Every structure is written in structure tokens, then in C-alpha cells.
Amino acid sequence: MLKLYNTLTRKKEEFKPLKKGHVGIYSCGPTVYWYQHIGNLRTYIFSDILKRILIYNGYKIKHVMNITDVGHLTSDADTGEDKMVKALRREGLPLTKESMLKLAKKYTDVFKEDFKKLNIIEPNIWSKATEHIKDMIELIKKIEKNNYTYKTKVGLIFDTSKFEDYTKLGRLKLKELKKGIRVKTDPKRKNLSDFALWITNQPKHLMQWLSPWGRGFPGWHIECSAMSMKYLGNTIDIHTGGEEHIPVHHTNEIAQSEAATGKKFVRYWLHARWLIFKGEKMSKSKGEIYTISALEKKKYSSLDYRYFCLTAHYRTQLEFSYKNLSAAKNAYQRLKNFISEIKNDKKINRKYFKEFEEAINDDLDMPKALTILWKLVRDKKATGKIQTIKKIDQIFSLNLLKKEKIKIPEKIKKLVQEREQERKKKDFKKADKIREQIKKRGYIIEDTSKGPKIKKK
């Protein structure tokens, strides 16, 4: 029985989809104005684990992820530059629609490449915001028809006071909101929590479309509602994202979607907590960001990072540092080394696999599942290890049984030969010193009946 923690109810619930055997999942995708940092990618690894566990449980998955290439403004006040336009300025590109779309494609391609590196299964549908403007306009028409809107100089605004359960997802206390830039820039705004559905006060914006409310572009929140409902229906099974989306973006998604249809928008909300760096959320706005490519330049593999993410539950913050990543890298390499020595006896170890199954079905408890894998590998009496690891790796996707082609540097080969010569001379003290030199360079030697065997440390 699969149990998932539902942010909406703040408790674990038995998962039951709308349609037996089928699951619709919507994941908040990236705004493609820059590289996705490893904090963003932690959330997508979590979504991937969720999907793999659902597939393991026999469900057929329809997974939709948006690509935001318009409408995500730098200010919470529904003003400021579009993040895509800001990116054009940053990269010294012409301020044209063509450049904007080209830039979006560039960072979308990098994002998809990171998915491949991290063994993340791509969604069934990549949904670009700019290709779904008509769907957004039609959804806004329904919201307007149901009397949830009003106009200001910014555009068409959603009146949150008319939506009774507006605070239910984020447990918000609206009376404690402070008057800030939103009121200063839009004094006609009735409530501090109201938000734009369609923006018309930026005549020089590169991307604009005709609508019943004037020439303009969609607000960021309406994009996800329109695209998720287009492909998954008015009520969807699971919606995933990062915890930062709870108080505003996902809260607004619920309000506008349910205002349009009168039906429950999402049945299970799942949120990953932040990757923390030096005590703060990793963020693009703070300057330096860590990407998969940056980690690779420092000799960490993408799967070192995936293993690192599995060491913490998705509902707990994870502290990033190179020290912590190195510990994960070393543990992952040791695990692969242990597994490479195991002989295949073509059985499943029912005891360990049952424990693993219980862990993954208990709200995706990856740290516990990882502990069970280590116990299996180290248990000298356990049988059926390889076939069990094969099934376990359908969830972890760490290439645990893939044989690595290790290119041994010439310097290491030379040291190994020197060590063998010292061993033949029975100068074991000197041989041990050479072994330590090899170890410091990231390799270990195992002495076998067929001669020395070199492995990565």
C-alpha cells in the first residue's frame, strides 16, 4: 500500500487515483531564462523517484511538465521585467521575440540534458507556455464569467476574497500580510493576495497576444492551471513542486482552477524541501549557482549527486557542501565496488526486497531504502543479491550493475608495476608506501591470484 504525504491535509494518506491503474501527474517545470541549479534539480529527482515508485506499483503514468518561456515576472507585484527579457539583457542579445524564443530553447535543451545525466525519466508531455495562450485565455474567460475578477491598470486581477478556501494549502494568515510594492504599484488592488490573470500595462513587452481584456500576456500562475487541465482534466491526481511554491504559486493555482470549474483541482499535493547552501536556500537571485556541469568540472558525476539526494528524505532540507557531496561520492563508489564483487545466483532475496518495498511505499523513504540496500550488500549470508539489486535500482536508477570502463592513468599503471617489483623483492614496506601513493591519487589495489586489480577509490 502506497502512502504519500499530502501538503493539503498535512498528513500521510493512502494513494488512490481517480481512475484505477492510471495516474495523472503535473510537475512545475523551469522558467528557462538560465541554467537550472542543483537545488532545482533535487526537486526533479524527487519527482522522478515518485514516478518510478508509481510505475513499480503497477500504475500507468501520464506526466506533464511545463516550460515557462513567458510571463514569469521578476516582481511579486505583477510588474517588473519578464525574467526572459532580463536574461536577454544579461547575455547582450537583441530584445526581439526571436531572440527570446532562441534563448528559451537553449536553456530548455540544457535542462533536458541534465535530465539524461541524472537518469530522470522525461515527462510524457513537455508543455510550453507560449504554445498554450489560447487555453489560458479560455480558462480566464470561465473565471471572469464566475465573477472572480476585476480590472486595474495592471490588467485583469483575481479577487482572492471571493474564493473561500484561498488559504487552505499554505495555511496562510492574510491579515498578517504587509502592504508592500504590490499596493504601491497597483493601488486599485482590493486585497494584498490578489494576483494578475492577464497583464496589459506593459506595451513594450516582447511577447503579447490579443485578448478580451486587451493586448498583453498571461500571468505566471494561470499558465500551470491551463496546461495541467488541458492534458489531465479538471481534477488531477498529483501535483509536485518545490516548497517555495506553496504560499503563492500553488495557492493561486488552486484558487483560479476551482473558481473556473467548481471542482477540486488536485487530490495530492507533494512538495520537496530546499537544498540548503550555507544555511540558506540555493537561489539564482543570490549570484553564484551550482550546476551539474560545474560539479562535473570538479570531478563529481551526475550520479554522485543523485546518490547524495537519496541520502535525505524529500520532506527534509538537505545541506549542500563539497564535503557532503564528497562523502556521498565515496559511499556511492564503495557501494559499486562491493556490488562488482557479488556473484549472480538468479534469485530474489524476498526478505530484503520486502523491507525495501515497505520503505519506498512509506512516502518515498529513500534514506531507509538506501540503508536496506547497504545491509543486503554487506550481509555475507544473504542470497539473491544481484537480482534484488537489479529490482532496487529500477527505483534508485544509479546504474548499480553497470560495469564502469575505468581509464587508468599511465602514472598509476607505472606505480602499480613498481609496487609489484617491490613485492617480488619482498620489500613490503616500500610496496605499502607505493600503495598509499596510489590511494592518494584516487585508486585502490586489490591483490588477487591473477595479479593486482585496480579500482577507483
Span 383-439, pLDDT tens digits: 999 999 999 999 999 999 988 766 778 888 788 788 888 788 777 787 788 888 888
- Predicted confidence at residue 133, as pLDDT, reads 97
Q: Cα–Cα distances in Å, from 278 out to 40, 51, 306?
A: 16, 31, 20
- Predicted confidence at residue 178, as pLDDT, reads 61
What is the rounded CA–CA span in Å between residue 356 and residue 366? 9
**What grid cell was written down for 22?**
492510471
For domain 3-272, give the fold. Rossmann fold (3.40.50)
- Predicted confidence at residue 79, as pLDDT, reads 67
> SS in 3 state form for 250-295?
HHHHHHHHHHHHCCCCEEEEEEECCEEECCEECCHHHCCCCCHHHH
Q: Would you list the domain boundaries of the chain?
A: 3-272, 277-396, 410-456
- Predicted confidence at residue 183, as pLDDT, reads 53
For domain 277-396, give the fold. Isoleucyl-tRNA Synthetase; Domain 1 (1.10.730)
Span 230-245, pLDDT tens digits: 999 999 999 999 999 9
What is the rounded CA–CA span in Å between residue 395 and residue 385? 16
Other Cβ atoms within 10 Å of 173 Cβ, number: 8
